[in-house]
Amino acid sequence: MDIKITKTTNPKAKPTDVSKLGFGQFFSDHMFLMDYDEGVGWHDPRIEPYHNFELDPACVIFHYAQEIFEGMKAYKTAEGKIQLFRPDCNARRMQDSADRLCMPKVPVEDFIQAAKALVQVDRDWVPDHEGTSLYIRPFMFATDVTLGVHASKKYTFCIITGPVGAYYAEGINPVKIYVEDDYIRAAPGLTGFTKCGGNYAASIKAGDLAEKQGYDQVLWLDGVNKKYVEEVGSMNIMFKIDGEIYTAPCEGTVLPGVTRRSILELCKDWGVKVHEEHVAIADIMDAAKNGKLEEVFGCGTAAVISPVKELKWKGDIAKIGDGNIGPFTQKLYDTLTGIQWGKLPDSKGWTTGIDE
């Protein structure tokens, strides 16, 4: 791609207090844009100063939510190198989301080139304090002006970025999770495996109710039986029971997380037995009662690795461990972030420099 770059003449002030970065509060100076028209394909790849969109109110995105997105991060190493973590996995997952939402695919190499070029332009926005990174949010939406329920013939692919700290206010401290027994997030044949905005829109009410009860997020059960654990609002979830790891399989209703996949690969390397299978919430609660539920943690790009200290299901509360991050969760966190921040050797070739 030949990306046209227009730099801002009015750079924004960068946040100075890294302890207050939070997640998704600050945005860097530039954005990547590219348009799609049926019969033409993707065209006009460009980097421009961050700005508002001007869209017709009848655009398909506003009415039928034909929208997908991704989440990645850029990390600055102690040597000052800026690197991405497995962007090819995000590019391919976005293609799978596009296919399900009947949207055009962005070629993997163009997706990676666009993300790298944008981070190169905004390289001064990549924070270098422990636990911080530049969050990268690629997204695509339908721009056809029509109220007919059909696939749009026009789309915009955009990437914005911004410096972030921890996703949860708790940071690496354990969170409390409410097991949702009424609403569902996904069912076979629907869009659970995609990163489409609609999945998240439908999840907000349950998340809001959980927060009002003092819980950080919702753990979703399968949409058919409301029996098997699937995933948490913004991350996949894993359970360590009797020394072995259990997590829901990616069979269409669970997001195939890049962090999830990386953790499972690490577990296999370490000889830790992994079960990608349907586990009943009742069995998780029993394991907690019998002292076999050793650790629970969520994992995702935004959340990184997030230990869980409490689960609430149908009024029953399971306390996990002593309420602190468990040793296995800590080891995973240290290994994964060690590779991402360049503190540990990347023997798997998961990272790629933005200038490579």
**Least distance (Å) from ligand COI to the CB of residue 188?**
22
The CA angle 269-271-275, to the nearest 5 degrees, is 100
Q: Is 152 in the site for ligand COI (CB under 6 A)?
A: no
Residue 210 and residue 217 in contact, taking contact as beta carbons nearer than 8 Å: yes
**Dist CA 92 CA 229 (whole Å):** 25
Which one, of 101, 236, 217, lies nearest residue 170 by Cα?
217
From candidates 45, 71, 207, 256, binder to ligand COI by CB under 6 A: 71
Both structure tokens of 273 = 């037995």
Q: Is 174 in the site for ligand COI (CB under 6 A)?
A: no
Q: Going by DSSP bridges, is the β-strand pair 217-221/293-300 parallel, antiparallel, or unpaired?
A: unpaired
Q: Is 340 in the site for ligand COI (CB under 6 A)?
A: no
**Least distance (Å) from ligand COI to the CB of residue 300?**
4
Q: Is 97 in the site for ligand COI (CB under 6 A)?
A: no
Q: Is 140 in the site for ligand COI (CB under 6 A)?
A: no
Q: Is 234 in the site for ligand COI (CB under 6 A)?
A: yes
Q: Is 90 in the site for ligand COI (CB under 6 A)?
A: no
Write out the binding residues for ligand COI, residues 276-335 only, by CB under 6 A.
Answer: 300-302
**Dist CA 268 CA 274 (whole Å):** 7
User: Is 50 or 200 the residue whose CB approaches ligand COI more closely?
Assistant: 200
The SS3 call for residue 92 is helix
The burial of 71, by beta-carbon neighbours within 10 Å (0-12 exposed, 13-18 middle, 19 or more buried), is given as buried
How many binding residues for ligand COI (CB under 6 A)? 6
**Least distance (Å) from ligand COI to the CB of residue 293?**
25
Q: Is 127 in the site for ligand COI (CB under 6 A)?
A: no
The SS3 call for residue 295 is strand
Which one, of 298, 293, 208, lies nearest residue 244 by Cα?
293
Q: Is 87 in the site for ligand COI (CB under 6 A)?
A: no
Which residues of this protein are in contact with ligand COI, per CB under 6 A?
Answer: 71, 200, 234, 300-302
